[in-house]
A and B are shown apart, each in its own frame.
Chain A
Amino acid sequence: MFKGGFIQNLPKIYGLYTGGFLVFILLMAVLESAGVSAASIGIMFVAFTVLIYALIGYLSRTIQVDAYYVAGRQVPTVFNGMATAADWMSGASFVAMAGGIYFGGYTYMAFLVGWTGGYVLVSTLLAPYLRKFGCYTVPDFIGTRYGGNLPRFCATLVLVLASFTYVTAQINATGTIASRALQIPFELGVWVGLVSILMCSMLGGMRAVTWTQVAQYIVLITAYLIPVFWMGSKLGNPFPHFMLGDEVQRLAELEASAGLVKNSAADIKAAGVPGGLKYISNPHSAVPAGGMAVWKYLSLAICMMVGTASLPHILMRYFTTPSVKSARKSVAWSLFFIFLLYFSAPMLATLSKLQLMDPNLPTAIIGKSIAEVKSIPWVQNWSAVKQVFIADFNGDGILQLNEWFMRGDVVVLATPEVAGLPYVISGLVAAGGMAAAMSTADGLVLAISNCLSHDIYYKIIDPKADVKKRLIVARVLLVVIGAAAAYISSMRLTSILGAVAWAFDFAMSGLFFPLVLGVWWKRATKEGAVAGILGGLISGTAYLIYVGPKFMANTPWLGIDHLRFGIIGASVSLVAMVVVSLMTKEPSSSIQKMVDDVRIPSGRAILGKQH
């Protein structure tokens, strides 16, 4: 049934895979109705999907440098789009985003704009040019464009810092999901997550990660959209994206009648609310008044957009396409596939909020007696694991809006249960969250280990190393970095979202201007690039330490808090890079010619096929 090569058959192969996955979901539904326990269904969902990814990883094993680093540069446009979308959408996007919108409302949605708008910068400023360059890693571009080992080393530093911050959060998420679905302790779940991640990437590098990421995208988007559409239909809106206008207005009315009360920190402490749980105190759709609120929204969106365009694990996905043209198109497809999830997240938040708040719905809990709410099975389940909490501040025995505490993740993970959907949907959601966290972790661990093995080991330490040795070093590094990340995340140092936003800020502080000016400004020099990278990184990090709530916790300057420190870093980086470049000697004519060549979309790549 398969004529021709693997690449020609991709649509058929993934078509079959998707069909198989849908059949698997139906099978689970049949088992559930036959009385198989919810716990076993959860285990089967997660175990089965992870095994499939591991199988794809094994089948994609390779001993070629080109395949290991850039998947042989033959990933078709649309498939690369899917792989990038999975690479991009992390545990935070899948599990935490709808929860963030649920609690933060309009203000939080700056993340949505930031995490999509950044792709416009990727496609206009960077992706096609980096593809033309033909590099293996992002520091490979910096090192060749500016010349010398120092810029390469500095870029590696930023890449490792940004990606490592990010990957601990992802491994943390895989650990959380694995521990819940497989019913094992969190610390063990982290290591199970790590082994699953390594099985996908170790044997085949970028090639294996690409094909598992496509498979993971299919699982995660199915797992996200089915509950949204199902719940929408239950509430009479079969296509919720275009039909929730009235519901959003209804929420505003309910907020007005309930009043958005702010609890004092002392009250929260006295009631013993577990850490990380939140209550609704921001309006869902109203825009907060005042210039500061506008600036906070815009500055967050800017950090996420510019950070997107500097994150190495995303940029390196566009090194795998066959041509410059397809790299450009591939960015568009990536954003399309990301969009499918992101424009559903606010609808999920709206639906689940309405179900809890609207007294006309049978699922409502706000305004009911606390004794009654505490007897609802899902409230009991999630209270037992300290994910929801009730504090009767005014002692009237009735649940007010400000008395209901919940962890953000619960919005995605528990909504199927709240809406009374069968358990098979909860199992599906767990598998989707696992796919989202694993695919991002894979891309990140690979970005770090590829960069260390290529830029530090091969380019700086031992340029004479043969192919076999290089690939062994790459794989050893992959395991070491994965293990280090798993160890750190098993210590639970920071909440998932804090760490994710920091990765964007680190990347934009150190890499955005050196990358963009490398293509768009011929006058940018080696010294300028080093000043830009180090100046941005050092000032950004210093500012993070200055305002970070877990560090010195000083009052942020102009509302630039620890989620937005990239604004400081990137500004310093730009100024330092321009000033130092203008003070130093113009780049040599061969470098200038190289920049000219990068700007022409056709013809040979700057760096050869094997380098």
Chain B
Amino acid sequence: MSNKEAHWQKTKNHMFVTLAIWFFFSIVIFMFGESVNQGSFLGYPLAYYMSAQGSLAAFVILIFWFANKQEKIDDEHGYGGEKEDD
């Protein structure tokens, strides 16, 4: 496998992992909203909390993590590059 293919393979896997986490916070939790709402966090009903703040915060953290890890993958394969690329 060439360097290019290996890089793309890792990039794809990273994308799938990120989207799986995204799917959990955007879909799965609210699929079971009624039972999730029985739980509570900081005194808020849990599904309400996730919809108002929790999932939103999870997305912010997820994208920062995604970007940092992708940068590492790029560096490993010599595609990190410097600031200017055009």
Contact = CB atoms under 8 A, between A and B. Distances in A.
B6 interface: no
Given A245-B43, A603-B85, A112 B11 contact: no
Contacts of A297: 30, 33
A248 B45 contact: yes
B28 to A, nearest CB: 10
Contacts of B59: 116-117, 119-120, 335, 339
Given A124-B19, A245-B40, A325-B71, A106 B48 contact: yes
A241 interface: yes
A554 interface: no
Contacts of A331: 63, 67
Interface residues of A, number: 61
Nearest to B15: A124
Interface string B35-48: 01100101111011
B67 A602 contact: no
A249 B43 contact: yes
Interface string B1-31: 0001001100100010011001001110011
Nearest to A330: B67
A343 B44 CA distance: 14
Contacts of A248: 43-45, 48
A298 B51 CA distance: 11
Nearest to A109: B51
A286 B60 contact: no
Nearest to B64: A332
Interface in B58-74: 59-60, 62-64, 66-67, 70-71, 74
Contacts of A113: 26, 30, 51, 55-56
A102 to B, nearest CB: 13
A342 to B, nearest CB: 6
A90 B47 CA distance: 26
A286 B81 contact: no
With most chain A CB atoms within 10 A of its CB, the pick from B15, B52, B60, B67 is B52
Given A109-B51, A601-B79, A134 B86 contact: yes
Contacts of A121: 19, 22
With most chain A CB atoms within 10 A of its CB, the pick from B4, B34, B37, B59 is B59
A38 to B, nearest CB: 32
Contacts of B26: 113-114, 117, 120, 301, 305
A112 B56 contact: yes
A596 interface: yes
Given A248-B43, A248-B48, A332-B64, A339 B81 contact: no
B31 A603 contact: no
Contacts, number: 165
A609 interface: yes
Interface in A102-128: 106, 109-110, 112-114, 116-117, 119-121, 123-125, 128
B60 A336 contact: yes
A123 B67 contact: yes
A271 interface: no
Interface in A261-297: 284-287, 289, 294, 297
A244 interface: yes
Contacts of B71: 325, 328
Nearest to A284: B48
Contacts of B44: 244-245, 248, 285
A275 B84 CA distance: 55
Nearest to B80: A602
A324 interface: yes
Contacts of B60: 116, 332, 335-336, 339
A106 B47 contact: yes
Contacts of A603: 79, 81, 85
A289 B74 contact: no
A396 interface: no
A347 B48 CA distance: 12
With most chain A CB atoms within 10 A of its CB, the pick from B7, B22, B85 is B85
Nearest to B36: A287
B14 to A, nearest CB: 8
A599 interface: yes
Interface of A: 73, 106, 109-110, 112-114, 116-117, 119-121, 123-125, 128, 134, 241-246, 248-249, 284-287, 289, 294, 297-298, 301-302, 305, 322-326, 328-329, 331-332, 335-336, 339, 342-343, 346-347, 596, 599-605, 609
11 contacts: A106-B51, A113-B55, A116-B59, A117-B59, A245-B43, A301-B26, A323-B85, A325-B67, A336-B60, A343-B56, A596-B4
Which 4 A-B pairs have CB atoms at the shortest separation, nearest pair first?
A: A245-B43, A602-B81, A346-B52, A285-B48
Given A110-B51, A116-B59, A298-B31, 7 more contacts: A73-B86, A112-B52, A113-B51, A245-B40, A332-B64, A339-B56, A602-B74
Interface of B: 4, 7-8, 11, 15, 18-19, 22, 25-27, 30-31, 33-34, 36-37, 40, 42-45, 47-48, 51-53, 55-57, 59-60, 62-64, 66-67, 70-71, 74, 79-81, 83-86
